[in-house]
Amino acid sequence: MRRSSYPEQEVTSINWQAFKLILPYLFEYKKRIAFAMLCLVFTKVASVYLPFILKDIVDTLDANTADNLKPLVVPLGLVAAYGLVRLSIVVLAEIRDTLFGRVTERAIRRIGLNVFRHLHQLDLDFHLNRQTGGLSRDIDRGTSGISFLMRFMIFNIVPTLLEIVMVVTILFVNYGVWFALITLGSISFYIAYSVYATELRTRYVRAANQADSSSNTRAIDSLLNYETVKYFTNEEYEAQAYDQQLSTWEQAKIKNRLSLFALNGGQAFIIAIAMTAMLALAAIEVSNGNMTLGDFVLINAFMMQLFMPLNFLGFVYREIKGSLANIENLFALLKKRPKVQDADNASELNLSKADITFDNVHFAYDKKRPIIKGISFKIHSGKKVAVVGTSGSGKSTLVKLLFRFYDVNSGNITINGQNINQITQHSLRLHIGIVPQDTVLFNDTLFANVNYGNPDASIEQVMQAITMAHLTTFVESLPDGINTMVGERGLKLSGGEKQRVAIARTILKNPQILVFDEATSSLDSHSEQAILSAINQVAKNRTSLVIAHRLSTIVDSDNIIVMSEGEIVEQGNHQQLLALQGKYSKMWQLQQSKTLDTIIKST
């Protein structure tokens, strides 16, 4: 079954609202922008004045040819002025780019940081349903779109429009209406054709982008699930699926290239007709004595200057259109509101003690399928409560609700009488440490992954946490010790080693509430006993919630809650539950018999 690709937003029209989204980030540097715009205007004025110097040079040289006695001082001075003006154009453009580049880069940095922070603020449900490859491409395209929009819109489109107005006005005033009309008409037709042709080929660009996102998503998904691919020997299946996406991209690119040929060919035809008409009219005027040879050169220079930036119009128009859509996609991420939000008057969690109460809690990921059905229990401060039950009974969901990854549908969860819906999520999670069932590590060193529990901790504190998690022997066996890279998602470590790193990380965090979600599920019996000893030592005088499968790990719990299909069916300590001869007792006997069978087989 083919995995779905990240959806590509169809760009049907330019959405100028995207400008409003980025303007606040740009206007923090009003003086810098104003100076950059001043440089832009001076650059265009100098650019328009340049052909006049060229005209004077030609006319002077033409006059000198007729009269050889005239000195060459004047034409040489004009040549020097021509070089000076051309140099000033380059210098002013570089100053403009440097000034505005700083503004653009700072805006991109701030927007990128805001998106990154916002993604971490979104709820767990968003991240469970996202596709990382497509999402990362949306962010990359959005930031690249801002850069492109600023660079080409400010430094290409606006200056070109300014130059067109100046040149058409000069031609009308100095040379008559026909020169102005031909110039304005050819440019208008050129722009209209470029926009029309670009609109036709946009679907091929969109198809290529969609195939690009799809192939990228597929590749990242496959690489993240490297072990699964190997388990099922599906390397060729993955390669063929990836190649299918690349084939779609290739075909879209071929059509894109053909449409680009049509666009460039049409533009070249319009330029040729316009240049021919203008030069023919100028040649006639020169022949009639109404214009000089310098005027002929000036008109030719003006036409070349105008059409040179317009030559990229199709590309710029399409990219600006796409950039605006990509920017809108980026800001759409910022507009997404998490389903779990702090209340307006949310307070900080006060933990003089850590009593946790679940009061008639109901919850369902999907309304059609309730997961937690009216559960009520209390964990007294400093006590250890375990939750056991069959898979799918809702044990791990309790942990997600306690962390407020989801809000309860009804009922209340309180800590020291404070409803967790009325306290900030940050302060809530700050006081809870967890060793999850599936430990995912960063692609960094072993030391950095443990230190993540408290980035401000000293090296001595990190090493103490490693010792308490019984990781010392393992660390000493590694060639690079604590500086060993653990690989992406911790793939270089075994399941048990990863869980011990998670335990060390939680020890370093030093929270008042501890949660262990199947914390010893990947450990052998010997390691399990060592870890349990460390857990008991760390959990002393702390409130602990233990989600367990192996009942042998929670026999010392102050209270054991037995769940089935989202409800509490039994509750009590180990001896009390055994005496009930109910569900817990049957689970205990079944696990003990399996343990005995394992021991007999090993001997």
The answer to whether residues 109 and 155 belong to one domain is yes
115 is a domain residue: yes
| Cα radius of gyration (the chain) | 36
This prediction has a pTM of 0.65
Nearest to 358 by CA among 435, 425, 419, 422: 419
Asked if 388 and 269 sit in the same domain, the reply is no
Total domains in the chain come to 3
Interval 246-267 mean pLDDT: 84
Residue 434 — φ and ψ, nearest 5°?
-135, 140
The closest alpha carbon to 568, from 583, 555, 554, belongs to 583
Average pLDDT of the residues of the chain:
82
Helices and strands (DSSP H and E) totals, the chain: 20, 10
On whether residue 45 sits in a domain, the answer given is yes
Q: How far is CA 540 from CA 432, 505, 511, in A?
A: 15, 17, 12
CA distance linking residue 382 with residue 564, whole number of Å: 26
Q: Are strands 410-415 and 384-389 parallel, antiparallel or unpaired?
A: unpaired
Do residue 410 and residue 489 come from a single domain?
A: no
Number of Cβ atoms within 10 Å of the Cβ of 417: 8
**Vertex 423, ends 420 and 426: CA angle to 5°?**
100
How many beta carbons lie within 10 A of that of residue 545, not counting itself? 24
| Rounded distance between C-alpha atoms, residue 3 and residue 1, angstroms | 6
Q: Is the per-residue pLDDT at 562 higher than 90? A: yes
Looking at the predicted structure, is the pLDDT value of residue 50 above 70?
yes
- The CATH number linked to 281 is 1.20.1560.10
- For residue 578, name the pLDDT band (cuts at 50, 70, 90): very high
**What pLDDT, in 10s, does the model give residues 59-88?**
787 776 555 545 566 667 778 888 888 898
β-sheet bridge partners, residue 410: 362
**Is there a single domain that holds both residue 476 and residue 363?**
no
At a CB cut-off of 8 Å and minimum separation 6, what does 478 contact?
446, 484
Distances (CA, A) of 463 to 458, 460, 474, 477, 532: 9, 5, 13, 15, 19
Report the pLDDT value the prediction gives residue 596, as an integer from 0 to 100.
52
CA neighbor of 550 nearest in space, from 585, 520, 516, 582: 520
Residue 284 shares a structural domain with residue 135: yes
Residue 347 lies in a domain: no
Residue 466 has pLDDT above 70, yes or no: yes
Please check whether residues 415 and 445 belong to one and the same domain: no
Q: What angle do CA 260, 266, 271 make, to 5 degrees?
A: 125
pLDDT reported for residue 254: 85
Q: What's the mean pLDDT in 147-166? A: 78
Most distant CA pair in the chain, distance: 127
State pLDDT tens for residues 397-436: 999 999 998 999 999 999 988 999 999 998 998 899 888 8
* Same domain (yes/no): 454, 602: no
Tell me the per-residue pLDDT of 482-532, one tens digit each, with 9 for 90 and over: 888 887 767 777 777 888 888 888 888 888 899 988 766 656 666 667 667
Task: Work out the average pLDDT over 559-585.
Answer: 91
Q: What is the pLDDT of residue 72?
A: 60
- Whether residue 11 lies inside any domain: the answer is no
The span from the CA of 306 to the CA of 313, in Å, is 11
Could you say which of 491, 510, 529 is where a domain stops? Answer: 510
Q: How confident is the model at residue 377 (pLDDT cuts 50, 70, 90)?
A: very high
Whether residue 528 lies inside any domain: the answer is: yes
Q: Residue 542 and residue 561: Cα distance in Å, rounded? A: 18
**Could you give the angle at the alpha carbon of 505 between the alpha carbons of 503 and 508, nearest 5°?**
110
Mean pLDDT of 310-338: 76
Domain check: are 147 and 268 in the same one? yes
Query: What does the alpha-carbon distance between residue 549 and residue 567 come to, in Å, rounded to a whole number?
Result: 17
Same domain for 78 and 57: yes
Last residue of a domain, one of 478, 510, 542: 510
Higher pLDDT, 52 or 156: 52
Q: Is there a domain that residue 341 lies in?
A: no
- Position 574 pLDDT exceeds 50: yes
510, 543, 563 - which closes a domain: 510
Place of tokens 């946490």: 465
Residue 17: what pLDDT?
65
What local confidence, expressed as pLDDT, does residue 66 receive?
A: 52
Kindly state whether residues 314 and 365 are assigned to the same domain: no
The burial class, CB within 10 Å (0-12 / 13-18 / 19+), for 132 is: middle
- For position 462, which CATH number holds? 3.40.50.300
Q: Are residues 602 and 463 in the same domain?
A: no
If asked whether residues 123 and 178 sit together in one domain, one would say yes
The stretch 168-186 carries a mean pLDDT of 89
Residue 550: its pLDDT value, please?
81
Single-letter residue type at 330: L
Q: Which residues of 336-352 are buried (b: 16+ CB within 10 A; e: fewer)?
A: eeeebebeeebeebebe
Instruction: Give the pLDDT confidence of 116-150 residue by residue, as tens digits.
Output: 888 888 877 777 766 665 677 777 778 888 877 77
Alpha carbon distance, N-terminus to C-terminus of the chain:
45
Asked if the structure places residue 90 within a domain, the reply is: yes
- pLDDT score recorded for residue 15: 57
| Residue at 1 is within a domain | no
pLDDT at 361: 94
Angle (nearest 5°) at CA 180 between 320 and 154: 25
pLDDT, tens digit, 9 for 90 and up, residues 258-287: 888 888 888 888 888 988 998 899 899 888
Q: Which residues contact 385 (CB under 8 A, 6 or more apart)?
A: 377, 379, 544, 545, 546, 557, 558, 559, 560, 561
Q: Which domain holds residue 458?
A: 439-510
